[in-house]
Structure 1
Amino acid sequence: MEFGALLLLTLLGLSFGEPGFVQRDYMNTLEWLRAKVEFINSLEDKLKNVEGWQGDVDALEARLNATVDELTRQKSEVDRLSKENQDLRTRLNATEEEIDKLKQSSAKDAPPIAFSASLSNSGEIYTGPCTDKTLVFKRILSNTGGYDHNTGVFTAPVNGLYYFTFSTYGYNTHVAGAILMKNGVRQISTYDNISADGSDIGSNSVVLQLAAGDKVHMELWDNGRVYDNWNGHTTFSGFLVFPA
């Protein structure tokens, strides 16, 4: 109201300075004053509205500043994650390159050692019972080193892990099966006793740690017998998994 009173006095002062003011009658003066008071009140209401709008503007500005701060924080987080992602990509690429180098190195270092053979290289054959129980697999299907088809013995060319597999076929008149030997020591076998059924087939496989010069071969069981023909029922195979 102080503002209104001051404004009213100012208007009154201006009004009394107008020419001919003393000639106005009392009613006109009151009407004029009432209009001035209403004008002053409307100005005060508008001022209050302006003050309210200023509060809204301040609130909006605060929210805008908070939004800018949040966007800045999120951008910083995105930049951090982007850098971490780039670091991970760099490490992944380095790991893949290292794996490729290891693969290439392994491929270069591992000699191609593998063989596969069956017992018979000419028609039907029974082996056993016999004093020398070593099975000599004559029909060579593949041999890149290590297997001697004259003795039936595989000699490891290098240190490493080797995979061996074999199969045996026999009839019910004798023990059927064979034993895989490493340096004269039994490792794994197949076995089927004399029975009423007509024939039996067995197979087995193993991974062995061999040093260069170690020997692996197949032997019959005591009083055992196996059979083979060009169908390759009785077989012996092996290969180097990797040098070690």
Structure 2
Amino acid sequence: MKGLVCLLLLLETFVFVNGGLNENEISQQLSSEDRRQNPPQTDTLRAEASTDSQQYCHLCFPDIHAALRELTATVTEQKEINREQKENIRALETRLRDAEQAAEQQTISLEELKKKTDETSNLTLSQVEELRKENRDREIAFSAALMESGSGFVGPFTTEITLTYRNVFTNIGNAYNPITGVFTAPLRGAYMFRVSVFGHGGVTATADIVKNGEHVVIAHADQTQGELNSSNGVVLILEVGDVVYVRLWSGTRIYDNTNNLNTFSGFLLFPLREDELCRM
């Protein structure tokens, strides 16, 4: 603006000195000078700036939308991953609780086993020996034949006699006495006994199993000629000290030889407790 004022002053001076210019010449000079001083660059720059801005916005906004869509997809995916991780964590926690419960039960079982082991290890030598003795006491069995050697008749007698079976095959527990022919119960329990008799020559052979002096069962055979034999057996409940033996009836006889034709046998089936006897 200052330059324009100066220019006008110069022109006025020039007109004054040279006799003046016409009005058109002054306007042309002013327009020429104005274009020279203020060239039309501003509008061009503004147009170029507007075009660049439109191109920039055209290029930037699609990228922003794409980035937003990608970010949204990433967030959704991360949420799904977090949900799966939470489910896995809950499953692991459940498995951990189950494992802890199983470990606790195993610990209890081990403690019980250790307790039983300790109780067993605390058994004294005397207790162990007592258990062994008790098992040995339960091993009771015997079997014997009438004659140790030779052959011959036994009987007849005018009274009943106790037969003594001297040829002992088995006598586990030594409860049978081959000298007296009597079995004495060393243990309360159920026992099985069996007797067999043999004779020949037209005789009667009769023998019975006796418990504490009382007749129980009989083995009897009667034949006028040839050979005869009979056998019988019984299960008896015996208290400690009860006796069992075989008694030959009066007026009868039996025959024996190395074939062991007459036998007496017995064995413990199983021991009995006091309460079991009360129920019988």
Superposition TM-score, scaled by structure 2 size: 0.61
Aligned to 1:179: 208
Judged with a 3 Å threshold, the aligned counterparts in structure 2 of structure 1 residues 81 and 231 are, in CA distance, closer, same or farther, namely same
How big is each residue's C-alpha offset from its partner over 1:11-56, in whole Å with a ceiling of 9 and x where there is no partner?
A: xxxxxxxxx9745276554333222111111111012112202211
| Matched AA of 1:133 | E
State the alpha-carbon separation in 2 of the partners of residues 196 and 51 from structure 1. 117
State the alpha-carbon separation in 2 of the partners of residues 77 and 217 from structure 1. 64
State the alpha-carbon separation in 2 of the partners of residues 58 and 235 from structure 1. 91
Counterpart among 217, 231, 235 of residue 259 in structure 2: 231
Aligned to 2:55: 31
- CA RMSD in angstroms, aligned pairs only: 3.9
State the alpha-carbon separation in 2 of the partners of residues 194 and 87 from structure 1. 73
Judged with a 3 Å threshold, the aligned counterparts in structure 2 of structure 1 residues 151 and 74 are, in CA distance, closer, same or farther, namely closer
Aligned to 2:70: 46
Query: In proportion to residue count, which structure has more helix?
Result: 2
State the alpha-carbon separation in 2 of the partners of residues 202 and 64 from structure 1. 81
Superposition TM-score, scaled by structure 1 size: 0.69
Matches within 5 A, 1:195-210: 198-210=227-239
Matches within 5 A, 1:4-19: none
State the alpha-carbon separation in 2 of the partners of residues 28 and 192 from structure 1. 141
**Aligned partners of 1:119 and 1:235 also within 8 Å:** yes
State the alpha-carbon separation in 2 of the partners of residues 44 and 104 from structure 1. 90
What is the DSSP-based 3-state SS (H/G/I as helix, E as strand, rest coil) of the residue aligned with 2:69? helix
Aligned-residue offset at 1:119:
0.9
**Aligned partners of 2:205 and 2:222 also within 8 Å:** yes
State the alpha-carbon separation in 1 of the partners of residues 120 and 192 from structure 2. 32
**Aligned partners of 1:164 and 1:236 also within 8 Å:** no
Counterpart among 125, 128, 148 of residue 152 in structure 2: 125
State the alpha-carbon separation in 2 of the partners of residues 195 and 26 from structure 1. 153
What is the DSSP-based 3-state SS (H/G/I as helix, E as strand, rest coil) of the residue aligned with 1:170? strand
| Matched AA of 2:95 | L
State the alpha-carbon separation in 1 of the partners of residues 192 and 67 from structure 2. 105
Judged with a 3 Å threshold, the aligned counterparts in structure 2 of structure 1 residues 39 and 142 are, in CA distance, closer, same or farther, namely closer
Q: Percent identity, aligned pairs only?
A: 21
Aligned-residue offset at 1:58:
2.0
Counterpart among 103, 106, 116 of residue 79 in structure 1: 103
Higher Cα Rg, which structure: 2
State the alpha-carbon separation in 1 of the partners of residues 145 and 204 from structure 2. 20
Q: Where does the alignment leave 5 or more consecutive residues of structure 2 unmatched?
A: 1-43, 274-280
Number of aligned residues:
222
